[in-house]
Chains A and B, each alone.
Chain A
Amino acid sequence: GAVVSQHPSWVICKSGTSVKIECRSLDFQATTMFWYRQFPKQSLMLMATSNEGSKATYEQGVEKDKFLINHASLTLSTLTVTSAHPEDSSFYICSARPGSPSSYEQYFGPGTRLTVT
């Protein structure tokens, strides 16, 4: 149980285009989902927290208009990288936390490798 999927697993796009990454909780409902970015050999940097049915909360320094997050249902959150540039190339990881108040854990997706050419 507690499986989180991401799609696509990798994507290559041209500079200036937009890319959408999906994060799905497959066997549980996630009221809260988190989006992280990881650079090579570095730790995870939290980009934003999304709650179903409300606007995402972005971490300081993360451009809201560039990284659009939509949490449309209890099992799906999407991250859209708009007008992508080579510096946006990174490994993007989502995680989901079950809606149970007693849940302490986050379950992570396998990640999406974005390369902008």
Chain B
Amino acid sequence: AQSVAQPEDQVNVAEGNPLTVKCTYSVSGNPYLFWYVQYPNRGLQFLLKYITGDNLVKGSYGFEAEFNKSQTSFHLKKPSALVSDSALYFCAVRDVSGFQKLVFGTGTRLLVSP
């Protein structure tokens, strides 16, 4: 079964510093990977996806993610964090069977301090 793991419950970073939110995956076949962000009491907003092609994927709000096949990782990164980036981040992988649902990680709370 497809799965993703987010090993960190929370990541703390100072504004202006680079940030990384980790995600590793376990899939059969080629992975379709996604990052979403959730602000309090809101639904999920799409940040970026990896389907195929370049390993470095650029997304919304200055975020990017690097697909690493050998390490089965898809870490989310941003060169310079903003306080407004503080939110809950979910990594997800698309299931290959049935309705191709998304399987989510447990989420990582990002806290950017001023």
Contact = CB atoms under 8 A, between A and B. Distances in A.
A87 to B, nearest CB: 20
Contacts, number: 52
B106 A104 contact: no
A34 B45 CA distance: 15
Q: Interface residue tally of chain A, by bracket?
A: 20 to 34
B101 A43 contact: no
B90 A43 contact: yes
Interface residues of B, number: 21
A91 B88 CA distance: 15
Contacts of A57: 98-99
A94 B110 CA distance: 24
Interface string A98-117: 00000011111111010000
A108 B41 contact: no
Interface string B72-104: 000000000000000000100010001101101
A111 B104 contact: no
B41 A44 contact: no
Interface in A1-57: 4, 6, 32, 34, 42-44, 46, 49, 51, 57
A6 B42 CA distance: 11
B22 interface: no
Interface string A45-85: 01001010000010000000000000000000000000000
Given A49-B101, A51-B99, A104-B32, A43 B107 contact: yes
Residue of B44, B98, B105 ringed by the most chain A CB atoms within 10 A: B44
Interface string B39-54: 0011111100101000
A111 B43 contact: yes
A49 B99 contact: yes
Contact of B106 (A6, A43, A95): A43
A49 B101 CA distance: 8
Nearest to A38: B38
Contact of B44 (A6, A108, A113): A108
Nearest to B103: A46
Q: Which of B49, B102, B107 has the most CB of A within 10 A?
A: B102
19 contacts: A4-B43, A34-B99, A42-B107, A43-B104, A44-B90, A46-B102, A49-B98, A49-B99, A51-B99, A91-B41, A104-B32, A104-B49, A105-B46, A107-B46, A108-B44, A108-B46, A109-B43, A110-B43, A111-B41
